[in-house]
Amino acid sequence: MEEQRFVAVPFALVGFFVTDRDVEESIRTDMTPEELEKFQELVARYLFKEGVRVAIYPSVVPPEQAEEAVNELEKLIFGEEE
């Protein structure tokens, strides 16, 4: 029987949320393990082909770092302007 090899490959999802409340008041802190598992299954189903498993660690970039994160994303997508 041939041994299967698996490779863990990091990936990132970048998004934004808009709120008129403090950031800390906008983020859920009560996500259950079952909800996280369901979210991981949805990401795996819609972004990857069958058989790929996904592990997610939800994280939010602090507001003071958001502009830098957007600029880095812009460079990644559109390349450096000369």
Map out the domains of the chain as residue ranges.
1-82
pLDDT of residue 40: 93
The H-assigned helical ranges of the chain are 23-26, 33-47, 63-78
Residue 58 has pLDDT above 90, yes or no: no
CA distance 30 to 42: 19
Its pTM stands at 0.64
Contact 44, 11 (CB under 8 A): no
Contact 60, 23 (CB under 8 A): yes
Length, in residues, of the chain: 82
DSSP state of 37: H
